[in-house]
Amino acid sequence: MDKDVIKIAFSAFFSDLGYQAVVASFPLLLVFYFHVPIYVYGIVESFSYGVGLFFSFLGGLSADRFGSKRTSIFGNALIVLLSFTGFARNAIEAILFFLSGWFMRNLRSPARRTMVAEITKDEERKKAYGILHALDVGGGMLAIVYLTILLYLKVSLYFILPFTAIPITIGTLLLVFSRSGGKKPKEKINYKVITGILIATAFFGISTYSPGFPIITVTQSTHEIYLGALTYGIYLGASALFGYIFSYVRIGDFQGLFSGYVLSALASLGFVFLFGFKAEGLYPLVFLLGIAMASAETFEPSIISKVSGQNIGRGMGLLSLARGIGYFIGNSVMGILYTINYAYAYTFASLVSFASAIIILILIKYNK
């Protein structure tokens, strides 16, 4: 694997090692430090996803216009604004710092994927994106580990959060010393495949609810908060592990993506029937959800990079935009349905994920 792909992947690792601790701390900071009502946190989260969609698209356009490396460095450097939430002395300051850093994270992501595409050949893309996802999520998982330990030791968030700027800065420096700007592919743009993938990933986004829902479900089933919290670690661990596995396993992009969507559908449906089996029944389903996410994060950008012609940045921006729209819709619907009955919420997610798989089947037939 190209050494510059490894640099970009480790940039993702260090960046997530920093900012994911801030993301996990943000609700604690607002609700327990600044005593903000929970519904205000919900509004802020919706705003972050909603407006963040457009920053993802702008990041893709900027990668094509100004260069993927320049856009990646600019966005990643400003993610450090998230760390400034540790200096906030009221809720308004914390929200402004958080949203500013989060939007820059969205701006950077499509450009970083474009960097990977520009320095790899078509046959190398799956492996490259698999390694990128594995190290990306692996950094996030370690961030949750050290955050949990420090909070257990009663260390204040005012002390923890500013220091997250250190790994984020290391992540930015790795981008600075990475190569980009390889030859643009000469292939024509395949609009039918791009459209199909964007629709499929939007549906998958709708079905890919926040990890908070399984955390709540496990907690309700086991009546133990710590078992609910462990859910997120299992999800991230599975996703990181299989991102690495997918980078080496011999499977086509469309077949791998189809399998991931089906796994997601089956796992969601499993929550309906295995609730009474507590952690023993629900943890394997969370593990499957992690595998499904690794599949999407590996195979979706690999496909888009091969059919976007010279507009790879725009393709990656549209991919992030489509997934984000799905997240925005899906979490809202899941919240409403879960309030009525958890089984309704997971059944809905399962059906939508199966719809994503059907779209991929149609694309497989089309590409034969």
Residues 206 and 355 placed together within one structural domain of the fold = yes
312: closest CA among 59, 49, 103, 9?
59
Neighbours of 24 (CB within 10 A): 16
Same domain assignment for residues 45 and 161: yes
Task: Name the band, by pLDDT with cuts 50, 70 and 90, for residue 187.
Answer: low
* E strand map for 263-335: none
Length of the chain (residues): 368
Looking at the structure, tell me whether residues 198 and 146 fall in a common domain. Answer: no
List the CATH number of the domain containing 308.
1.20.1250.20
- Does the pLDDT value for residue 244 go beyond 80? yes
More confident residue, 338 or 299: 299
Domain edge (last residue) among 159, 182, 205 = 182
pLDDT value of position 368: 61
Contact between 43 and 94 (Cβ < 8 Å): no
pLDDT score, position 276: 87
The neighbour count for residue 352, using CB atoms within 10 Å, is 24
pLDDT above 60 for 294:
yes
Residues 6+ apart with CB under 8 A from 3: none
- Please give the mean pLDDT across all residues of the chain: 89
Band (pLDDT 50/70/90 cuts) for residue 185 is: low
Residue 218 scores a pLDDT above 90: no
- Predicted confidence at residue 181, as pLDDT, reads 64
Q: What is the pLDDT of residue 49?
A: 77
Could you list the residue range(s) of the whole structural domain that residue 215 is in? 184-368
Question: Angle between the 253-273 and 191-207 helix axes, to the nearest 10 degrees?
Answer: 20
Average pLDDT over residues 83-104: 95
Render pLDDT for 137-176 as a digit per residue (tens, 0 to 9): 999 889 988 988 888 888 898 999 999 999 999 999 999 9
Statement to judge: residues 162 and 274 lie in one domain:
no
Do both 117 and 57 map to the same domain? yes
Q: Of the candidates 182, 204, 224, which is a domain's last residue? A: 182
Which of 161, 182, 203 finishes a domain?
A: 182
- Please give the helix or strand (H or E) that residue 242 lies within, else none: helix 225-246
- The reported pLDDT for the residue numbered 334 is 83
Residue 358 and residue 300 share a domain: yes
Residues 159 and 192 in one domain: no
Whether 122 and 203 map to the same domain: the answer is no
194 and 149 share one domain: no
> In the chain, how many domains are there?
2
Q: Give the range among 51-55, 93-97, 343-347 with minimum mean pLDDT.
A: 51-55
Would the pLDDT of 219 be above 90?
A: no
Tokens of 321: 């935009």
What backbone torsions phi and psi does residue 39 show, to the nearest 5 degrees? -65, -30
Which amino acid is it at 215? I
- Is pLDDT at 101 greater than 60 in this prediction? yes
Please, what is the end-to-end C-alpha distance for the chain in angstroms?
29
Q: Is the pLDDT of residue 225 over 70?
A: no
What local confidence, expressed as pLDDT, does residue 173 receive? 97
Bigger pLDDT: 184 vs 200: 200
d(CA 38, CA 47): 14
Strands (E) in 101-228, as ranges, are: none
Lowest mean per-residue pLDDT among 128-132, 247-251, 332-336: 332-336
Cβ pair 9, 132 in contact under 8 A: yes
Please check whether residue 20 is in contact with residue 144, taking contact to mean a CB–CB distance below 8 angstroms: yes
Nearest to 271 by CA among 284, 290, 260, 261: 284
Q: What is the pLDDT of residue 361?
A: 94
Output the pLDDT for position 25.
Answer: 84
pLDDT of residue 260: 96
Residue whose pair of structure tokens reads 């499929």 in the numeric block? 200
In the predicted structure, residue 285 carries a pLDDT above the cut 90: yes
Residues 104, 231, single domain; the answer is no
DSSP string for 68-134: HHHHHHHHHHHGGGGGGGGG--SHHHHHHHHHHHHHHHHHHHHHHHHHHHHTS-GGGHHHHHHHHHH
User: Are 163 and 199 within one domain?
Assistant: no
Given this model, what pLDDT does residue 353 score?
A: 95
Confidence of residue 178 (pLDDT cuts 50, 70, 90): very high
* CA pair distance 225, 229, nearest whole angstrom: 6
